[in-house]
Amino acid sequence: MARALRPQTGSGATTFERFGLSDEQLITILRNMLMQRIVDNRGFQLNRQGKVPFALGSEGHEAVQAGAALAFTRGKDIFVPYYRDLGLVLGIGYPILDLLLSMFARGADRSGGRQFPNHFGNHDLGIMNISSIISAHIPHAVGAAYAFTYRGETGRAVLVTFGEGGTSEGEWHESINFASIHNLPIVFLCQNNGIAISVPQSQQMHVKDVAQKAVAYGIPGETFDGMDPLISYDAVKRALDRARTGGGPTLLEAKCARFLSHSTDDDDRTYRSREIVQELRKRDPIATYEAILLANRVVDEAKIESLRREILEETNDATDRAEAMPLPEPSDLYKQVYAGDYEPWQ
């Protein structure tokens, strides 16, 4: 396990490692984490009200995603997400309204209401649309990194994410092997919450840490505390900088937790006790990070409250607007199915 970031007390003062980040950047991370929690909850609320068919939760992943989003360079890097990356895409600039249009399957959605909810994509932000099949998006990410190398481009990198269950798939192994052989500019970020839907890690692999697998491919591997946004920022930034400057791929493993069920379609009470979840919630990354910022006077209670209120109002407004939008027209069914005059990925 890498360094743990927690308030360190000494000589009556509370200090913390901020990795050169300004107060504004530290607050940006907090804002992203709060937004992730509020939008996350909105998806589950709408599902329980019978208004949206499906939602995926990322509670417990807020820290690693907020830190990674800050390390990503918008306009240069390419991000290939998996289905639990709500905070990462929000941190990169994906609008809340677009997320809700997808949940409501409205015609104004980027896919015309045809894409599965929580399957993000935004050409302008460099967010590549994912495949629903576990780890099938990783070869796409490696292909994008290979394109950078093929075209002789430098200063750009690909960030691809997945859960620990995805590392049991053949596409994952083949992708890392290819990326290693060709020294591609890519960062493989595993968000390891210890359970793939209902299967614990101990029944998926015989190693303690996913990052140990990096040795077999001859690339660097690092495990870090994914409940800490600043540790996460530092790890992802170092790996992306390394990729951008010709250092090749890195396998990162963020140890985090999943507080909710896998999705609104399953009930985690059938495979883990409430006591286990309560223990996980004691490490709530938002509460911990707020305490660090308060102790170091980066924010005060009033600032946190204003952030919460502002994000809730933005989410409420986006919810009302998305719900009021019309459903797709049946005549649009075959639009955007095949290549048209849309600008290809660059």
Query: 110 is written with which tokens?
Result: 């980027």
Cβ atoms of 106 and 325 closer than 8 Å = yes
- Would you call 334 a catalytic residue per the annotation? no
Q: Which amino acid appears at position 15 of this protein? A: T
Cβ atoms of 86 and 130 closer than 8 Å = no
Query: 164 is written with which tokens?
Result: 């620990």
> Chain-centre distance of CA 125, in angstroms?
15
User: E strands within the chain?
Assistant: 8-10, 13-15, 78-80, 158-163, 186-192, 195-196, 199-200, 221-225, 250-255
Query: 165 is written with which tokens?
Result: 């269950």
Cβ atoms of 137 and 164 closer than 8 Å = no
Measured between its terminal Cα atoms, the distance across the chain in Å is 37
| Per annotation, catalytic residue among 37, 137, 258, 289 | 258
Instruction: Give the other-Cβ count within 10 Å of 335's Cβ.
Output: 12
- Would you call 271 a catalytic residue per the annotation? yes
Cβ atoms of 149 and 181 closer than 8 Å = no
DSSP H helical segments within 72-109, as ranges?
Answer: 86-92, 96-104
Identify any residues that bridge with 161 across adjacent strands, giving them in sequence order. 189
| Per annotation, catalytic residue among 74, 110, 271, 308 | 271
**Going by C-beta distance under 8 Å and a sequence separation of 6 or more, which residues neighbour residue 25?**
70
Cβ atoms of 121 and 70 closer than 8 Å = no
- Would you call 137 a catalytic residue per the annotation? no
Active-site annotation, residues:
258, 262, 271
